[in-house]
Amino acid sequence: MNFDLTPEQDQLRDAVRALGRKYGHSYFVAKAKSGGHTTELWQEAGRLGYLGVNIPTEYGGGGGGITELAIVCEELAAAGCPLLLLVVSPAIAATVINKHGTDEQRKRHLPGLADGSQKIVFAITEPDAGSNFHRLGTVARRDGDDWLLTGRKCYISGVDEAGHVLVVARTEDSSTGKLKPALFIVPTDAPGLELSKLDMEILSPENQFLLYLDDVRLPADALVGESLDAGLPALFSGLNPERITVAAMGAGTGRYAIERASEYTAKRTVWGGKSIGSHQGVAHPLAHAAVQVELARLMIHKAATLYDAGRDLEAGVAGNMAKYAAGEAAALAVDTAVQALGGAGMTTEYGVATLLGAVRAGRIAPVSREMILNFVAQHVLGQDKSY
């Protein structure tokens, strides 16, 4: 059992930390409040190779795994720049295309994903079905050699910044007549695809959208993989990387909040000149939050290690646990930091309340804490399925 990073992973962590601090939380907040995007940070991360650390070297990537990408997600978040598109583009889309795409799809999309010049976002959630792919209403049907996609998607991140969206639909299996999942790489400027921005109470430079697909015509090669049989494995291949990288982003955010609060409480003096951090009523909640964040980081490391070793079933359990732990820890850390700073904690200047919406959302998305508990109860504790 080894808890140490390799020298290369340590170097990656240090380098990404330096990049994140070069921009910092004030940059992130300014972009979010102005309606802008973190384009400069994204492009520089791409040039430095950080966006493609999990993509094979033959396509311009770093040849690493989800462990390396989790490091990137965590360190940027720990610098106050939690980039959600790291999850949907390099973690989900690049993994799906690399593992299940055709040779042509890999050649066409992976180099751009690796250097940051291309973004592919992910669309599974629907207004009625949520993320339950058994009930998805988005349907793909054949029209000659083409496909026609019709349906609706919601809470789709960053579509306005992306050239393509990876859409999960259902299509009829000709041998059984049953609907089965299939994934399609859809250009965001495709005729019949319309976007509607959702107003969210989350301070983020990455926007959320409703997607409307009205007979969006796609060529045959838009289908991910060589056949419809690739649909279900491709869908599941993106879920563990999603959970692990979301968890890493949460852990980084928790670290950032605790660091900001600790700096403040160590220097702030009242009532006799002692720092407020010398009082257990202030120090203990911060210490408790730090413990929870560190425990989450250990589970993230375990989940990423299992995933990169190809132990998918074990990685599924660990990834869900990591996401649960990090979601709870990040929310606790930010809330505790705000409380420790008092009124200053609610100001933009001190940079912790600006994360309240994001960490609260982290307990809901991409899978809610309740659904993770259902998963653990069923698959770890052997309980009957509850839903």
**Paired strand residues for 274:** 270
DSSP E strands: which ranges in 219-362?
A: 269-270, 274-275
Q: Give the dihedral of Cα atoms 30, 34, 163, 22; nearest 10 deg.
A: -10
pLDDT for position 175: 61
Q: Among 75, 53, 51, which residue's Cα sits nearest to residue 65?
A: 53
Q: Among 8, 13, 19, 11, which residue's Cα sits nearest to residue 297?
A: 13
Contact, 264 vs 340, CB < 8 A?
yes
Residue 58 Ramachandran class (φ > 0 left, ψ -120 to 50 alpha, else beta): alpha
pLDDT for position 326: 98
Q: Give the dihedral of Cα atoms 373, 357, 254, 365; nearest 10 deg.
A: 30
pLDDT for position 2: 83
CA atoms within 13 A on the CB side of 273: 0
List, for residues 280-300, the tens digit of each pLDDT value: 999 999 999 999 999 999 999
**Paired strand residues for 186:** 165
List, for residues 199-252, the tens digit of each pLDDT value: 999 999 999 999 999 999 999 999 999 888 899 999 999 999 999 999 999 999
Instruction: Give the number of other CB atoms < 10 A from CB of residue 141.
Output: 14
Q: What is the C-alpha separation between 20 and 80, in angstroms, rounded? A: 7
pLDDT for position 200: 96
pLDDT for position 128: 85
pLDDT for position 136: 84
Q: What is the pLDDT along the chain (387 residues), one digit of tens a residue?
A: 788 999 999 999 999 999 999 999 999 999 999 999 999 999 999 999 999 999 999 999 999 999 999 999 999 999 999 999 999 999 999 999 999 999 999 999 999 999 999 999 999 999 987 667 677 899 999 999 999 999 999 999 999 999 999 999 998 765 666 778 999 999 999 999 999 999 999 999 999 999 999 999 999 999 999 888 899 999 999 999 999 999 999 999 999 999 999 999 999 998 888 999 999 999 999 999 999 999 999 999 999 999 999 999 999 999 999 999 999 999 999 999 999 999 999 999 999 999 999 999 999 999 999 999 999 999 999 999 998
pLDDT for position 130: 67
pLDDT for position 180: 87
